[in-house]
Structure 1
Amino acid sequence: MADSDATPAPGLGRAAGAGEAETTPEGGSRRRAPFARSIYGDIVQFIDFILVTAAAPAAAYVYHAFVIAADVDLQRYLAAGILGATGATAILRRDGFYEFDQILSPALGVRAVVSRWALVVLGLIAFAFSFKISESFSRFWLFAWFATCAVALVTTRFVAGAVLRRAVKEDGAFARRIAIVGSNDAAQKFAELARASEQAVSIVGVFESDLAGASARKAAVVDGDLAALARAARAGAIDDIVIAEPDASAERMDALVQRLSVLPVSIAICPTAYWLNHTGGELARIGGAPVLNLYRRPLEGWGGLLKSLEDMALGGALFVLALPLMAAIAAAIKLQDGGPVLFAQKRHGFNHSVFRIYKFRTMTVAEDGDRIVQAHPGDPRITPIGRFLRRYSLDELPQLINVLKGEMSLVGPRPHALAHNHAYAQIIENYSGRHKVKPGITGWAQVNGCRGETSENELMEARVRYDLAYIDNWSLWFDLKILSLTVFAVLFPKNAH
């Protein structure tokens, strides 16, 4: 290899030892971290273990000494604390919450950390009941221990994250230094996505991949050739090399990887620019073959069961509570003009299955054919009572019947009339992706103001973006958040007519 020349690569200075200053490609300087990034996760895990363990006897002592003024066997509570700390740190380690990048952005995992701690406590309660030792522990202590540790686990992450972010911002000490081999669209896209991330990533430079050492470089883009890259890697200025050569032949990639494999850095292969455009994808394996999952199956694992239980439990309770109101609305509609109380219309549901949606009749017509005119402000077809019902979304209450029948969900993409559905599917990209889950009475789009008439394609496109974001990010907590926001949207309606 032609890497014996001591001249530094363009934009790269002398590599620094641990804790010494190092020149960056941008011309500034930074200090390298004294330890590997992974060690800081171990430190946070150790702190979590100590806090959870110590909180158990501490809470017991405070309760028995100052609340009930009684003696206490702290050894028993210390044992419970050790069990809880072992379980909590083990499950947090398993799920990646001690990874450096996760600690760097703690706000993203607060709810997940607390929910996992709650799962550990529930497991300890089940353990205590199974061995008939639950009476040895105070319920007040259990609640105090749980609350104290939840706050401690969250606080530890925020403090550690603040310290690490400050170090990254001020001197780049923890930045993962990436060198890109290849000057093409994939390399450019990779660099763009890496820099946009909240994680501590520093792009050292883009290097030409010409194995022959030819000088066919773009001076404004490329920072050096493979020889310069090798010098920088051996000097300790690079942590990872990403090869961005999606169109290279197998022989060329073998030669390139073989030449770079002797360097003391991690080496990865960048996917194509098309793959990088699917930023929601994640790496997985099917058998022994690595793949990039572009879309995950909606409601996978326990998701489908949890959502069904949510619909049956909350839907049933809401139906019972709404019965008196629905009876009053039905009587008012019947007294108004003697017409039918309910309006039924065919709509597409899960996986494009067709069902009949129920609503209180709010108009003088009941369209359900190939041409349906959407309601608009001042529409003369809307009855006086119907105008009030539509403003506060009370006409949607009969859809609780659809929920109990399993045709709809409380939360999900709003279903549209068949005629509109066919039309939008032809002109809006990924529109049909909304049918990967059951339609809902309310949805993420509706609580964000996307409701009412969709006379312009841009309005429907915005609604579709919210619907697809909901499907990709579904969780039980997300559903509860949308239901809570729906109450506000109903009391203070916008775009309803």
Structure 2
Amino acid sequence: MSNVIARCLDVIFVIAGALIAHALRFPGAEVFLDDNERLHTAFNCALVLLLFPGFGFYETWRGQSLPAMLGRVLAAWLAVVAASLVLVFTLHRVDAVSRLWFGYSTLISGVLIVSAKCGAHLALRTARRRGFNFRTVAIVGTPGFSRTLLAHLKCAPQAGFKPVFLFDTNAQALDIFEGQRGGLPVFTDIDAFAAKVREERVNEVWLALPLSEEHTIYRFKRAFQHDFVNLRFIPDVRSLALFNHALVDVIGLTTINLNAAPISPLSMWPKLIFDRLFALVALILLSPLFAAIALSIKLTSPGPVFFTQKRKGIDGHPFMIYKFRSMTTHRESEGLVTPAARGDARVTKIGAFLRRTSLDELPQFLNVLLGQMSVVGPRPHAVEHDDLYKDLVYGYMHRYRIKPGITGWAQVNGYRGTTTKIEKMETRVKFDLFYIHNWSFWFDMRIVFVTIFKGFVGRNAY
């Protein structure tokens, strides 16, 4: 019944949008639509009834986010508009329909449909928080993962799932509460559990089991094969640490990326465009500063203006990084890189200032312009340091699955400059991995903003 009402409302919104658009386009005229507008509106109503179900428009959105729902609604309405335009072109009715009316009706009907869905979603969330419109859930699993699910449900009352009892797959691990856990009854016999589910008319049974418990999963599937209860499998994969890895389709098979590029190339396009534009603007605006720094380096110590060193880029591809030279020219032993220390005699006077203020890093905008680096990303280290830390710090080399950056999440949190202890490098890598797993374009903008105001000067840079 609710689906029928929802479909009727969507049709009403399409008609209302057409009528309001007519009143706006032809003020003072009759409210009724002309023949061409009626035909176009009828097309839209039919397409709404045909296409909206294909987008999962009338399925339950319980437990899902509002942005995901709104995205689906907008996609469905745009599909209706596109299909309607194709029909209008096919019937050669383009010139007979007012373009302004078409634009008004598309916008108004879309706003009405989206607003109604948004209002209904928010109203249901409020009702579920207050204990209405909930679905009962019985959880099957080990004590540890069952507690995790109960905690999730407690933190998300707006989803409207109410746990009623549990099944403990580890009968020897019963709590001391005589068959009670978290105030809920605990079962260890599958027949008694199934009978209770039927008696209480429980809406859903969640199988919170490891991937290896295939036999147990089939036992419960057979137990409820004749019942109209939603049986959901929520795999317990905590020991595999897969939650930060993506599911992808390879030749029709579902695979989990354990060690692959964490961000799709398509998602990276805003970052790539921003990098090139930002680097170009920075190089142009900072050119007077570049000239002043270059002149001061040449006047205070003999040697080249720029210092170059081999570093690893995305997927380990080597490139030469550019910096303003901050040390006197000297030779290191083969395979050895000695990091600068406090009071290091190799650091020139102007070099100390450049390193302390990160001005020595500015030439790396040229690396960004060449596509070898990004404005934001994990800092690249000397190849010799990579060889040292890759076996000592977990996840160290995973930092190179994306382009290295001039600044990064670790740097704005105070982890920049020389790192002499394994513990500090481990913390820096944790910040880098957090950035990779939680990357978004707006996360980059936040780091750039913080860097401009607090990220240039560091007490660990010398």
Which sections of structure 1, spanning at least 5 residues, go unmatched? 1-33
When the two structures are superposed, what TM-score results if normalisation uses the length of structure 1? 0.66
Report the counterpart of residue 142 of structure 2 in structure 1: 183
2:441 partner letter: D
2:325 equivalent to 1:361: yes
2:129 equivalent to 1:169: yes
Query: Displacement, 1:411?
Result: 2.7
1:333 partner letter: I
Residue-by-residue CA offset, 1:400-455 (whole Å, 9 max, x unaligned): 22123332123322211223323332222212111111212233333444434444
Report the counterpart of residue 349 of structure 1 in structure 2: 313
1:404 to 350, 358, 369: 369
Contact 2:312 2:383 in 1 (8 A): yes
Query: Displacement, 1:358?
Result: 0.6
Relative to structure 1, the CA distance from residue 71 to residue 263 in structure 2 (aligned partners, 3 Å threshold; closer, same or farther) is closer
1:206 partner letter: L
1:372 to 338, 362, 369: 338
1:486 to 427, 448, 457: 448
> Aligned equivalents of 1:56 and 1:401: distance in 2?
54
> Aligned equivalents of 1:295 and 1:91: distance in 2?
38
1:106 partner letter: L
Relative to structure 1, the CA distance from residue 382 to residue 327 in structure 2 (aligned partners, 3 Å threshold; closer, same or farther) is same
- Matched position secondary structure for 2:165: strand
Relative to structure 1, the CA distance from residue 52 to residue 413 in structure 2 (aligned partners, 3 Å threshold; closer, same or farther) is farther
Report the counterpart of residue 61 of structure 2 in structure 1: 100
2:388 to 410, 423, 430: 423
2:200 equivalent to 1:239: no
Relative to structure 1, the CA distance from residue 185 to residue 460 in structure 2 (aligned partners, 3 Å threshold; closer, same or farther) is same
The aligned runs of 1:455-474 (5 Å cut-off) are 455-474=420-439
2:164 equivalent to 1:204: yes
> Aligned equivalents of 1:57 and 1:332: distance in 2?
72
> Aligned equivalents of 1:118 and 1:324: distance in 2?
52
1:181 partner letter: V
The aligned runs of 1:71-470 (5 Å cut-off) are 94=55, 100-101=61-62, 105-106=65-66, 137=99, 159-175=119-135, 177-183=136-142, 185-192=144-151, 195=154, 199-208=159-168, 219-221=179-181, 223-224=186-187, 225-244=189-208, 246=210, 254-274=218-238, 277-281=241-245, 292=256, 297-300=261-264, 302-303=266-267, 307-364=271-328, 369-374=335-340, 382-470=347-435
2:125 partner letter: R
1:164 partner letter: L
- Matched position secondary structure for 1:315: helix
> Aligned equivalents of 1:409 and 1:108: distance in 2?
30
Relative to structure 1, the CA distance from residue 320 to residue 247 in structure 2 (aligned partners, 3 Å threshold; closer, same or farther) is closer
2:392 partner letter: I
Residue-by-residue CA offset, 1:308-365 (whole Å, 9 max, x unaligned): 4444444344434443432333223223334321111221211122221111223446
Relative to structure 1, the CA distance from residue 255 to residue 237 in structure 2 (aligned partners, 3 Å threshold; closer, same or farther) is closer
Relative to structure 1, the CA distance from residue 465 to residue 101 in structure 2 (aligned partners, 3 Å threshold; closer, same or farther) is farther
Relative to structure 1, the CA distance from residue 342 to residue 82 in structure 2 (aligned partners, 3 Å threshold; closer, same or farther) is farther
How many pairs are equivalent?
A: 441
Residue-by-residue CA offset, 1:280-303 (whole Å, 9 max, x unaligned): 346666556555555664332523
> Aligned equivalents of 2:278 and 2:195: distance in 1?
64
Q: Which has the higher contact order (CA 8 A, sep 6+)?
A: 1
> Aligned equivalents of 1:447 and 1:352: distance in 2?
24
Which sections of structure 2, spanning at least 5 residues, go unmatched? none
1:373 partner letter: P
> Aligned equivalents of 2:340 and 2:233: distance in 1?
51
> Aligned equivalents of 1:327 and 1:48: distance in 2?
64
1:372 partner letter: T
Relative to structure 1, the CA distance from residue 119 to residue 379 in structure 2 (aligned partners, 3 Å threshold; closer, same or farther) is farther
Relative to structure 1, the CA distance from residue 313 to residue 165 in structure 2 (aligned partners, 3 Å threshold; closer, same or farther) is same
Query: Displacement, 1:101?
Result: 4.4
Deviates more, 1:309-318 or 1:438-447: 309-318
Report the counterpart of residue 26 of structure 1 in structure 2: none
Relative to structure 1, the CA distance from residue 315 to residue 255 in structure 2 (aligned partners, 3 Å threshold; closer, same or farther) is same
Relative to structure 1, the CA distance from residue 217 to residue 337 in structure 2 (aligned partners, 3 Å threshold; closer, same or farther) is closer
Relative to structure 1, the CA distance from residue 170 to residue 250 in structure 2 (aligned partners, 3 Å threshold; closer, same or farther) is closer
RMSD, matched Cα: 5.2
Relative to structure 1, the CA distance from residue 334 to residue 96 in structure 2 (aligned partners, 3 Å threshold; closer, same or farther) is farther
Deviates more, 1:183-192 or 1:257-266: 183-192
Q: Percent identity?
A: 31
Query: Displacement, 1:71?
Result: 12
Contact 1:392 1:490 in 2 (8 A): no
Relative to structure 1, the CA distance from residue 458 to residue 90 in structure 2 (aligned partners, 3 Å threshold; closer, same or farther) is farther
- Matched position secondary structure for 1:426: coil
2:190 partner letter: L
Contact 2:412 2:447 in 1 (8 A): yes
Relative to structure 1, the CA distance from residue 297 to residue 232 in structure 2 (aligned partners, 3 Å threshold; closer, same or farther) is farther
- Matched position secondary structure for 1:223: strand
Relative to structure 1, the CA distance from residue 331 to residue 464 in structure 2 (aligned partners, 3 Å threshold; closer, same or farther) is same
- Matched position secondary structure for 1:358: strand
- Matched position secondary structure for 1:206: strand
> Aligned equivalents of 2:219 and 2:344: distance in 1?
71
Contact 1:449 1:495 in 2 (8 A): no
> Aligned equivalents of 2:201 and 2:443: distance in 1?
46
Contact 1:195 1:201 in 2 (8 A): no
> Aligned equivalents of 2:152 and 2:76: distance in 1?
33
Contact 2:19 2:31 in 1 (8 A): no
> Aligned equivalents of 1:122 and 1:73: distance in 2?
21
Query: Displacement, 1:121?
Result: 12
Deviates more, 1:332-341 or 1:277-286: 277-286
2:197 partner letter: A
Contact 1:411 1:482 in 2 (8 A): yes
> Aligned equivalents of 1:194 and 1:208: distance in 2?
18
Relative to structure 1, the CA distance from residue 452 to residue 425 in structure 2 (aligned partners, 3 Å threshold; closer, same or farther) is same
> Aligned equivalents of 2:20 and 2:352: distance in 1?
60
Deviates more, 1:286-295 or 1:451-460: 286-295
